[in-house]
Structure formats: structure tokens, C-alpha cells
Structure 1
């Protein structure tokens, strides 16, 4: 029988997180240096779930040393890794290399320096509720669904649990605290699913600040966003 969600997470949950960080990026790790994808995974995980690094190292090594055989594959009791551009003969050795990098990061304290998100996975992992907000309410269909940006923000506030709204406000403030350039903010909201431009005359950072003020309890209501 196929893996249950619990069994999948127990055996492969953190392995899956590592490999998903590579989607759309090359698996170009070397013995000397982790790839951009693995560096992004390490940076985010050190910041949010440092205990998960040991789990990732263990699951990567276990899979590399004991890949699913024909019986488990036939029964569906296996994890099918996403395509990272490596052949079957290369991927197991590469998984061992990733495990080695993660182990050295933990044992030697090799923590990537703090920085803004670099990869698509890192943007989504670091700002999940902002991704939900921008991807769900500001897709290319937004002009057909709402009268404008204000109406979309109001709809989000009215249909979303207040605790998630508070989380969104916190994520926006964290993003603005990074002090990125406007071009980087534009890249960021696109990575998070926004498919329409911000309303004139605002820059991306200015509009995000207004959204946070509109939704935040200290604003005394939702007046004044672009």
C-alpha cells in the first residue's frame, strides 16, 4: 500500500524540503561549496527550525544508502524525489554530498550569513502567509474579481482568520525591515505570486507598508491603503 502521510513525513519529510529547494535551480553542489539552493535551505532552516537539520542529514543519508527496491516501488511504499536534473547513477552520491554539507554546517557552525531570500523556495518558505495573500488575491484575475487593490485587501481581511491576518502583517513588517531595494521588492512579490502591479503612485515597499497599516490593529481600522 502507498505511504500514509505520517509515514511519509517520518521517513522523508525533511528530505522533501531539501530537494524542493532545488526546483528550478541546478544541483551544482561541490565538495568545497554548497549550491545556492542548499545555502538557501540552510539559511532559512538555521533561522526557523535548526533542529530539523539533523533530521535532514539523517533522512538524506538513509535514502542514499537504502534506496527503494522493486517491491517497495511496486507497492507504492517509496518517496519519488523531484527531478533535479541528475541521473539515477548520480543522485545517490549527490544525496550523500548534501548530507555531508549539512553535517559540517551543524558540527562546525557553518551558518550562512543573514540575508534576504534568494531563491523561489526561500521566498515561499520565509513568507508563507504573504505568499497566500499575494498569490490568492493579486493574481492576474484580480482586476476581474475586485474593483481595485483596496477591495482585494478588504476581501482578504473579511474572509481570513484574524490570526492569519496578524501573521501577514508581521511578515510584511519583517520583509520591509530587510531594507531591500525597490527592484528586489518587485522580484520578491513576484516570487510570492503577485501578478499585477501595485497601484500608482506607490512603489512596492510603500504599498506593502500601507497594506500592513490598513490591516494592523494599531491602524485603528483599514483606512488608507492604495
Structure 2
């Protein structure tokens, strides 16, 4: 019978995170060097959830040791490894290689230094609320739903929990701290789901600065206000 969500996460949750990092990326790990995808996973996880690396190493290695047969995969009793561009008979050795790289990173303290995200997965892992904001309110359907970019921003602010709006403001501050050039700001908004151009005359970076300024404005207060002390 298919796995329950709890069983899936217990057995394969961090394995799933590792393999998601390979979406759109080549699985070109070697014994001497991890791929860009695995490096992105290691960098983000070291700086956000370092304890999860030991879980990842254990789950990847255990899966490689006990690969499921086709029947159990079809029944939903095992996690199906997504297509990473490798031949089926090479998957097991590749998984052992990933586990070895993760173990070496932990045991030898090989921590990738902070850097600008290098993969689609890393952009979304590092800036999740920006992905929600740009992908949800500035997709290609945005001009059909809103008259202006400002109207879309106002709709996001009005319909989103204040704590998430604050998280977006914090992520924008973290993005600006990277001191990117405009070409990388353009890459960032595209990776995070924006499918329309910024309003004229703004560049992507200039428009994000406007969004940040808009989010820092105090929310309007309606209705009668308490009188101050005389």
C-alpha cells in the first residue's frame, strides 16, 4: 500500500531534498568534486539546517543499499528516484557517491562559503517567499488580473499574513546584501517566477527596491482612533 506522508518523510524526506536540487541540473558528480547541484544543496543546508546533513547521508546511503524493485515502486511503497539523466544501472553507484560527498563534507568540515545562488533549486530554497510573491502575483497572467504592478503588490499585502509579508521584506534585504549587478537581479526574478517585465522605467533591481520600500510603509489604520492623554 502507498506510504503515508509521515512514513515518506521519515524514510525519504531529506533524500527528496537532495534529489530535488538536481532538477534541471546535470548529475555530473565525480569522486573528486560534487556537482553544482550537490554543492548548492550543501551550501544552503549547512547555513540553514546543518543537522539535516547527517539525515541526508543516512537516507541516501540506505536507499542505495536497498534499491526497490519495480513492483514495490508501482505500489507506491518506495520513493521513486526522479530522472537525473543517468542510466538505470548507474543510479546506485551515483547515490553512493552522493552519500560519500555528504559524509566527507560533515566529517571534514568542508562547508561551501556563502555565495549567490547558482541553481534554480537554490534560489527557491533561499528565497521561498519571494518565489511565492513573484510566481504567484507576477506570472504571465498578471496583466489580465491587475491594472498595474502596484495593484498586484497591494493585493499581495492585503491577502497575505503580515508575518509572511515581513518575511518577504527580510528576503529582499538579504538579496540586496549580495550586492548584485542588474544582470543577476534579472536572473533572480526570472528564477523566482516573475514572467512580466518591471514597470517602466525600472530595472529589475530598481523595481525590487521599490517593492521593498512599499513593504516598509506602515499599514493604514481605519476607524476611530483612541484619543491621546491630555
TM class, shorter-length: over 0.9
Q: Tell me the SS of whatever aligns to 2:155.
A: helix
**Cα distance in 2 between the residues matched to 1:114 and 1:214:** 28
Q: 1:109 to 1:71 in 2, by over 3 A?
A: same
Ranges in structure 2 where 5+ consecutive residues have no aligned partner = 221-230
**Cα distance in 2 between the residues matched to 1:75 and 1:215:** 48
- Moved runs in structure 1, 4+ residues, more than 6 A? none
Superposed CA deviations along residues 170-213 of structure 1, whole A, max 9, x for unmatched, are 11111111101110010010000000011122221221111112
2:163 match: 163
TM-score normalised to structure 1 length? 0.94
**Cα distance in 1 between the residues matched to 2:197 and 2:116:** 22
**Cα distance in 1 between the residues matched to 2:210 and 2:45:** 30
2:173 match: 173
TM-score normalised to structure 2 length? 0.93
1:103 and 2:103 matched: yes
Matches within 5 A, 1:179-218: 179-216=179-216
Greater shift in the superposed pair: 121-130 or 66-75: 66-75
Matches within 5 A, 1:50-129: 50-70=50-70, 72-129=72-129
**Cα distance in 1 between the residues matched to 2:86 and 2:137:** 36
**Cα distance in 1 between the residues matched to 2:60 and 2:109:** 20
1:14 match: 14
**Cα distance in 2 between the residues matched to 1:75 and 1:36:** 33
1:28 match: 28
Which structure has the larger Rg over C-alpha atoms? Answer: 2
Ranges in structure 1 where 5+ consecutive residues have no aligned partner = none
Superposed CA deviations along residues 37-88 of structure 1, whole A, max 9, x for unmatched, are 0000001001110000000000000000011135533532110111001122
Q: Tell me the SS of whatever aligns to 2:44.
A: helix
1:134 and 2:134 matched: yes
**Cα distance in 1 between the residues matched to 2:152 and 2:6:** 36
Shift, 1:220, TM fit: 3.1
The total of aligned residue pairs comes to 220
**Please, what is the CA RMSD of the aligned residues?**
1.2
